[in-house]
Structure 1
Amino acid sequence: MTHAHPPQPSSVRFPVQPRLVPPIKAARYLHLTLAEFAEKLSALQMQGFPKACPITGNYDLVAIDAWQDKRSGLAGGAPSAQSSADIAKARLATLG
């Protein structure tokens, strides 16, 4: 049996906001260029920044928000105190 008319797509469309984003968008989310993001990534991860999905290589925006909320003291608890040694290690990691 053949159709006289092919099926028509639904006229109702819903925008989908991706949760996983590529590194360039994760960088922009942090107000960094891709080069700056790549340069600072190890220091960010030493501070608990979420790692990329091992399958897609994309970053979870919800996890980034949770990380930022925790650092800012918005996650229901006090921000974690950093020792001066941890701060120095993070800064040295950005130097390569």
Structure 2
Amino acid sequence: MSQTHTLQPSSIRFPVQPRLVPTVKAARYLHLTLREFMELLPALQDQGFPKACPITGNYDMVAIDSWLDRRSGLAGSGSGGQSSIDIARARLATLG
């Protein structure tokens, strides 16, 4: 015999931070109005700003954070940067 399980709501509640956000929230995240964001979007995308999801039309907040980190120098420079091995060798070389 098969048993039917009914899902019960969880008694534990916690906030969910969406990863994909609508255009207006992506604009607000950049401290822009929706109009300013739409006007600047082509220039932003020319600078590597992530495009919206083609299915939902929403923007990926992790991708936006990554783009901001790269622009501000907080993220590694990727393939053009030094590997951790190269950095360790350079530091060891300075020790004598």
Q: Assess same fold via TM > 0.5.
A: yes
Corresponding residue of 2:23: 23
Corresponding residue of 1:61: 61
TM-score by length of 1: 0.70
Opposite residue 21 of structure 2, the aligned amino acid is V
Q: 2:46 aligned with 1:46, yes or no?
A: yes
Q: CA deviation at 1:13?
A: 1.1
Q: 2:13 aligned with 1:13, yes or no?
A: yes
Q: 1:27 to 1:7 in 2, by over 3 A?
A: closer
Between the aligned partners of 2:46 and 2:29, the Cα distance in structure 1 is: 19
Q: CA deviation at 1:77?
A: 3.1
Identical residues among aligned pairs (%): 78
State the Cα deviation string for residues 9-61 of structure 1 (Å, max 9, x = none): 22111211000000000000000000000000000000000000000000000
TM-score by length of 2: 0.70
Between the aligned partners of 1:54 and 1:10, the Cα distance in structure 2 is: 33
Between the aligned partners of 1:73 and 1:26, the Cα distance in structure 2 is: 21
Opposite residue 41 of structure 1, the aligned amino acid is L
Between the aligned partners of 1:70 and 1:60, the Cα distance in structure 2 is: 16
Aligned-pair RMSD on alpha carbons?
1.9
